[in-house]
Structure 1
Amino acid sequence: MLGNGKASGPRALTFEERQQWLAQLEADEKAVRWDLPDLSRFLMATGVRIGEALALYWEDVDLANSFVDIKYTVVRVKGQGLKRKPTKTAAGERVLPLPSWTVDMLQTRHDAAKEAGRPPASPVFANQDGNLRDPSNTLRALREARGTEGFEWVTSHVFRKTAATVLDDAGLSARKIADQLGHAKPSMTQDVYLGRKVVSWDAAEVLESILDKKST
């Protein structure tokens, strides 16, 4: 099992902590202004890196079939500003099925984006101008929102660990979890296995209950 010990890196949020974290964000005007509640939900529902989440465009989202196509990450290029760049490895390119509650959340955001006149080639988690958000600034906002007590240990990596731990506890294989997170390992044989890009729907079924135990 993946475990929560500090020796293995960031620990996962428990079910109760997930609820408390989101409630804390929803009650924080600045966190809401920074769009941190929905971003946190998406990170936990997918296990993607924060740069990958911020690089997601509406044209990469298939709400009808409940998946997102992860192909890019946001980086700051000297002299050019924020840019979408391909993921560093082939394993980073993956199609992630979504839990139904995540689809509902994205549908609400998509309706608002359309009403605001934003095109398909625009970020799902945009800044106030509808453009790419700076990952560094977003991480700074997360640090401020977590406060000094209770959640001072929370970083963006915690959301990835949370998704991985929920999948592990449900008995998904290390290969499926690696695929969900965009990791090339654990096995060279499996790394070169054809057709591995599309992640199993098992992950979406498990992550359906990450914020609601009644869904299990």
Structure 2
Amino acid sequence: MNVAEHCQHDRAPALTVAERREWLAQLEQDPKAVAKDLPDLTRFMLATGVRIGEALALYWEDVDLDAGTVAIRYNVVRIKGAGLKRKLPKTESGVRTLPLPSWAVEMLRNRFAVAKAEHRAGANPVFPDTLGGLRDPSNTRRALREARGSEGFAWVTSHVFRKTAGTVLDEAKRSAREIADQLGHAKPSMTQDVYMGRGTVSPENAAALEDIL
């Protein structure tokens, strides 16, 4: 990513409440988007603020439905000659346990019931590809671009969901440190520069994200 692209990436606006609802409604009405599992993936990213590679690296063994948390420990990357793999994040701050809003827990609970019935629970992706394996982040970004539909959403990327979560937390008066922990940033200054918008994150973050939709 060059400097110009980086600056544009950082300045991408967050989705408003009306836009979040309209975006999800648009996805739900698009058979291709539904077939590519984009509605629930969008919901999960809005609920957590995780990177798209982190969302796609999530396995059912990383989900605690009783506690209402997910352990973010890996990122999906494509390795030349080896295909898609789960890799540890570059910094310790990328490993974190995130509390979930109640609606996200319910969404995952419904998905788990299906996964269990299809014998895809345990060490299997929560958001798999059509064959049940790891999903390619690049292909998923492409699917999101194709799902934009109207020109009004031409600016929406997976990063926008992450920025939206950070912005909602900021508006809820969560501290820069708490938002940085949620997003997996080592330094709160990075969070303040880009989004305003370690370990186990404050449960109050989930409460702040409860009404994001």
After TM superposition, the score normalised by the length of structure 2 is 0.91
Residue of 80, 83, 86 corresponding to 1:84: 86
Residue of structure 2 in register with 1:185 after alignment: 187
Are 2:39 and 1:40 aligned? no
Q: Using the alignment, how far apart are the partners of 1:21 and 1:31 within structure 2?
A: 11
Q: Using the alignment, how far apart are the partners of 1:7 and 1:158 within structure 2?
A: 9
Residue of structure 2 in register with 1:58 after alignment: 60
Residue of structure 1 in register with 2:17 after alignment: 15
The residue type equivalent to 2:55 in the other structure is: A
Residue of structure 2 in register with 1:99 after alignment: 101
Q: CA shift at 1:119, angstroms?
A: 3.5
Identity of aligned residues (%): 67
Secondary structure of the residue that 2:86 maps to in structure 1? strand
- Distance of aligned partners of 1:7 and 1:58 in 2 relative to their CA distance in 1, 3 Å threshold: closer
| Runs of at least 4 residues off by over 3 Å | none
Q: CA shift at 1:117, angstroms?
A: 1.0
Q: CA shift at 1:149, angstroms?
A: 0.8
Q: CA shift at 1:87, angstroms?
A: 1.1
Secondary structure of the residue that 1:118 maps to in structure 2? coil
* RMSD of Structure 2 on Structure 1 (CA): 1.4
Are 2:134 and 1:163 aligned? no
1:88-126 deviation line (CA, Å, top 9, x unaligned): 110000000000000000000000001111140000000
> Is this contact kept in 1: 2:112–2:121, CA < 8 A?
no
Q: CA shift at 1:7, angstroms?
A: 9.0
1:161-205 deviation line (CA, Å, top 9, x unaligned): 100010000100000000000000026xxxxxxxx4100001100
Unaligned runs of 5+ in 2: 1-7, 190-197
Secondary structure of the residue that 2:153 maps to in structure 1? coil
Residue of structure 1 in register with 2:5 after alignment: none
Alignment: residue pair count = 199
Residue of structure 2 in register with 1:154 after alignment: 156
Are 2:213 and 1:198 aligned? no
Residue of structure 1 in register with 2:112 after alignment: 110
Q: Using the alignment, how far apart are the partners of 2:210 and 2:153 within structure 1?
A: 24
Residue of structure 2 in register with 1:145 after alignment: 147
Q: Using the alignment, how far apart are the partners of 2:176 and 2:184 within structure 1?
A: 12
Secondary structure of the residue that 1:88 maps to in structure 2? coil
Secondary structure of the residue that 2:78 maps to in structure 1? strand
